Amino acid sequence: MPVVDISASAEAFNADPYSFYARLREAGPVHEVIVSTDEFEPSWLVVGHEEARKALNHPALSKDWRGSGKFPDALVTAANANMLEADPPHHTRLRRLVAREFTARRMEGMRGRVQQITDELLDAMAARPERTGDLIATLAFPLPMTVICELLGVPDLDRDRFRYWSNEVVAPAPGTPNNNAHQQLGNYLGELIDAKAKEPGEDLLSALIRTRDEDGDSLSSDEVIGMAFLLLVAGHETTVNLISNGVRALLAHPAELAALRGDFDGLLDGAVEEMLRYDGPVQHSTYRYAREALDLGGTTIPAGATVLVSLAGADRDPERFPEPDTFDIRRAPQGHLAFGHGLHFCIGAPLARMEGRIAIRSLLERFPDLAEDPSGGAPRWLSGSLMRGVSRLPLRW
């Protein structure tokens, strides 16, 4: 099968990747592709739902790029000492230690504060005399950024820098290396963690520094930095796109929006799950590396290959979801892959869901005439293949 060069149609692909995935799926669930002009070699892209689930938890696919042999000159920083870039048994150890503190109880305890932050942001939106603005700047970014910074214990004054660093990590401009952002963010977190070790608080970072398991094992300094890096970047970037993509989907489907407004209690949870499936915040997983040859969907992926799992493509697979291109907030929500699957399933999924539900319900209740701003111009899609979303969402209310 020939290599498919998606990068040759980057603008059209960013605007509507789902048509590309549908054409690929018709020919098979796994394809060799060029996704970006920055790629050093083609990757194997998994677009079938069943094959994606298998790949996300396949023991032959490694997440540790340092052992792949593909990046001999890459700079390794403390930020890389996180569980997303680790395999078992190292991953198992890191996840166990982090999970001791990143608990459902801690997340649920933030519900009142999430609602308070949301209400304050909506108050500021309501006070704007022009009654128009960018939803990313007014709500979708500041809400999860404030929440994750307060959860970790990051000082207020540093949040603008975090936004820059995080954007450079997950959606760098084409041809722009993100090593500097990794290193700068890692250096800052190292200084912050040193300060917290001397004067601990009640925040999650302080808890990660002092956590111990039954055997006395604890996170090293670099591992705390790596975990903070992962939780900070993943903990707000994905929720920004969950909120903005969800609002875009609702505004594009007035009947679904009206149904949700008429029954928040009965439909909100399912609506958020459908937003995650229909146009989720993460388009592709981060790279996996084949330790050995493996079969996926009848395709042999050779040892040493790089593999991308298309969460967005898998969640529009008609073999799993009838009428997958229909946005249906009453759809049975089970089975989407927006938060991944298997041992790397997103540890922050409960927090993201809570923020998404609170933000979207509060926004719709506060502004019953919410609509797109026709003077706002065409969407600006995030660059790169990792995240799915827009950098601006002009609305009126």
- Beta bridge partner(s), residue 306: 289
Check residue 321 and report its DSSP letter.
S
Give the C-alpha distances (Å, rounded to integers) separating 134 from 9, 104, 166, 238, 254: 27, 32, 19, 18, 20
Separation between Cα atoms, residue 29 and residue 226, nearest integer Å: 34
86-98 burial: b if 16+ Cβ within 10 Å, else e? bbeeebebbbebb
pLDDT reported for residue 177: 54
Separation between Cα atoms, residue 161 and residue 368, nearest integer Å: 34
Separation between Cα atoms, residue 169 and residue 181, nearest integer Å: 6
Q: What strand order describes the sheet that includes 132-134? A: 132-134, 394-396, 371-372
Per-position pLDDT tens, the chain of length 397: 678 887 777 788 888 999 999 999 999 999 999 877 666 688 999 999 999 999 999 999 999 988 777 776 777 887 788 899 999 999 999 999 888 888 888 888 999 999 999 999 999 999 999 999 999 999 999 999 999 888 988 876 566 777 777 777 776 655 555 567 777 888 888 888 899 989 999 999 999 999 887 778 898 989 998 988 888 888 888 999 999 999 999 999 999 999 999 999 999 999 999 999 999 999 999 999 999 999 999 999 999 999 999 999 999 999 999 999 999 999 987 789 999 999 999 999 999 999 999 999 999 999 999 999 999 888 889 877 788 999 999 999 9
Fold of domain 4-396? Cytochrome p450 (1.10.630)
Decide: 348 and 95 in contact? Cβ < 8 Å.
no
Separation between Cα atoms, residue 357 and residue 115, nearest integer Å: 10
Residues 6+ away with beta carbon under 8 Å from 179: 74, 75, 77
pLDDT reported for residue 234: 83
Indicate whether this model's pTM tops 0.85: yes
pLDDT reported for residue 157: 58
Separation between Cα atoms, residue 158 and residue 156, nearest integer Å: 6
pLDDT reported for residue 135: 97
Q: What is the dihedral of CA 197, 198, 203, 206, to 10 degrees?
A: 20
